[in-house]
């Protein structure tokens, strides 16, 4: 009986350690975009973009937003959608990306937001800027179908 319990405990310990190793290999840190790994470049890029879009949608649901606040949310979401649509077609358009970042920055700096949402969107802005910097410094990298405009 002791042997079986120690075997189960060892298996649980090893499976927990294996899970933490896998979790570490899929980091969303600032310079992990496009890093080689099991998930590939496309998934890490889209994970960032999906999270930003969800955070914008959640922040836009703020019940006390004024009409100008709503307009800034709509503009930020539209510009970010435009960038994502081009990116999905294999085009990384730096100008459209810069415009989307600028619109999200306006939402953060000029809108009345819940403090948690403001913090989340500020973090998203930092990660988008890091991503932009990563792409600017790695132009010569192997991006497959992605091109620069």
Tens digit of each residue's pLDDT, the chain (149 residues):
556 555 555 555 545 544 433 333 334 444 344 443 334 455 678 899 999 999 999 999 888 888 999 999 999 999 999 999 999 998 999 999 999 999 999 999 998 888 999 999 999 999 999 999 999 888 644 443 344 43
Per-residue pLDDT at 35 = 43
- The neighbour count for residue 87, using CB atoms within 10 Å, is 18
Per-residue pLDDT at 46 = 87
Burial of 121 (C-beta count, 10 Å sphere; 0-12/13-18/19+): buried
Going from N- to C-terminal start, the domains of the chain cover 42-148
Per-residue pLDDT at 106 = 96
d(CA 8, CA 15) in angstroms, rounded, equals 11
Per-residue pLDDT at 138 = 81
Per-residue pLDDT at 143 = 46
Q: Report whether 109 contacts 78 (CB < 8 A).
A: no
Per-residue pLDDT at 116 = 93
d(CA 110, CA 102) in angstroms, rounded, equals 12
Per-residue pLDDT at 123 = 97
């Amino acid at each position: 009986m002791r042997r079986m319990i120690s075997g189960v405990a060892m298996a649980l310990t090893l499976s927990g350690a294996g899970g933490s190793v896998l979790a570490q290999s899929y980091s969303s840190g600032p310079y992990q975009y496009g890093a080689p790994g099991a998930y590939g470049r496309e998934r890490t890029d889209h994970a960032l973009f999906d999270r930003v879009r969800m955070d914008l949608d959640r922040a836009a649901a703020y019940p006390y937003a004024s009409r100008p606040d709503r307009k800034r949310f709509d503009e930020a979401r539209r510009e970010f959608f435009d960038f994502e649509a081009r990116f999905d077609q294999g085009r990384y358009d730096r100008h459209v990306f810069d415009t989307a970042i600028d619109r999200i920055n306006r939402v953060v700096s000029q809108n009345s937001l819940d403090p948690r949402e403001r913090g989340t969107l500020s973090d998203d802005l930092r990660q988008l800027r890091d991503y932009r910097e990563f792409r600017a410094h790695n132009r010569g990298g192997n991006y497959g179908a992605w091109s620069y405009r």
